[in-house]
Chains A and B, each alone.
Chain A
């Protein structure tokens, strides 16, 4: 656990110093969701039917785009090398980085999602499911996306490649996340689906940081 809290504190501090990195994904999320009524139709029934997919896809894209910079600046400044030669388990420092990133980028998405859901005519009764689904789903999206980010960190024009690598891996989270909301709309029990999302999260959190650490080592040439 050595280095975990120091890294967590530092990441939060870094985000405070350049708040755009934190605010932009949130802004992106809101803008993308509000494009859909304009593009399709403002009819409430249609919006309600589309809402789960729209919100989840927008959240997924926002998370993915925010991850491109997760390791890139560190790599460019040589901080990543320092992280790799430090006598700490990379597992925990990586976990700290992801946790900080989720607190600063993922959590705001979760908090703003009910407002967008309401705007897309979702009944208030399902907004809880929306939030808990995102609460369980966005950390998994962070971890899975960070695997891609670790593999593309040293590459120029890596952000397009990141999307190509990561989006297929996001499909289960998307299916279960949007599916849980769809079931809530039909007044079916959602807890089993949320449990599956939780299981995916547990798998991602336990194995993901290993893959990310390995990916970072591979990207720096080991």
Chain B
């Protein structure tokens, strides 16, 4: 199948004049950063880690986009073509996949074994707190997945990138599973902490709504027969959903304060400070889950690419 796509921008030569896309991308990046910060729910004390990450990203962006616009735009344009084209994506992801699998397995195993077996017990909750090594990574992966779907949806709607639609389809089921794991592990954790499996805690309620949002996207995708149309519809719903997630989170927090229900404080009343010996395995397992996420998404995206392009010559060659 021919890739017919107009290149909107030709080469930028001077650094004086910034192209229109720059503002859009900056806006999206800023929005994503703000959303991530706002919604970040992990009880990890060093939120500064993430703010620092944001700084690194911002500085890189500044030097990339403002100081060396030529290089920046050329790289961006190459990515746009390579990652935007299913064929290239298939080839590149095939190269990355073994590495990602390796990293994911190592990180997950180290993080989980360290956290479950070797990290010190909590002074109030004893050993029951150890479920955070599953609960927290799953929660944050579910949330990040939805954010990623929103960004992919925006890209799919604005630039009509087929790959972005494929990514949404690839992300949604894993995100839903992560949300479900987060809910189940939260319930299991709730039993020793609150004496009951379910409480309408703000965090658990938000996660439940997130699961509903995921299920909505999946249901819409399954209901529409034409995959291209389904992809665009799911993109729109993801974008609407991401805006909504922000408001949901705010509203649920407010609702909680209104009814003064019990809130799960993960580390007791002493504040959310977490000892480094507990934090290190948590971060490891969190990144492990992220890499696992990437692996799953890539595999699903590759399958979807093969399915969508099954009539094209390169897929025939690839498969035979």
Contacts and interface: CB of A to CB of B under 8 A. Distances in A.
Contact of B209 (A171, A176, A183, A221): A171
B57 interface: no
Contacts of B216: 164-165, 168
A167 B254 contact: no
- How big is the B interface, by class? 20 to 34
Interface in A74-97: none
B247 A218 contact: no
Interface string A168-200: 110110011001001100000000000000001
A138 B5 CA distance: 42
Nearest to B217: A165
Nearest to A222: B232
A218 B258 contact: no
Q: Chain A contact residues: over half helix, strand or loop, or mixed?
A: helix
Contact of A169 (B236, B244, B250, B255): B244
A139 to B, nearest CB: 16
A219 B233 contact: yes
B59 interface: no
A161 B223 contact: yes
A219 B225 CA distance: 11
A155 B224 contact: yes
Contacts of A168: 209, 212-213, 216, 241, 244, 248
Contact of A151 (B233, B243, B251, B252): B233
19 contacts: A151-B233, A152-B220, A152-B223, A155-B223, A155-B224, A164-B212, A168-B213, A168-B241, A168-B248, A169-B240, A169-B241, A169-B244, A172-B248, A175-B251, A183-B258, A200-B247, A214-B236, A219-B229, A221-B229
Interface of A: 147, 151-152, 155, 158, 161, 164-165, 167-169, 171-172, 175-176, 179, 182-183, 200, 203, 207, 211, 214-215, 218-219, 221
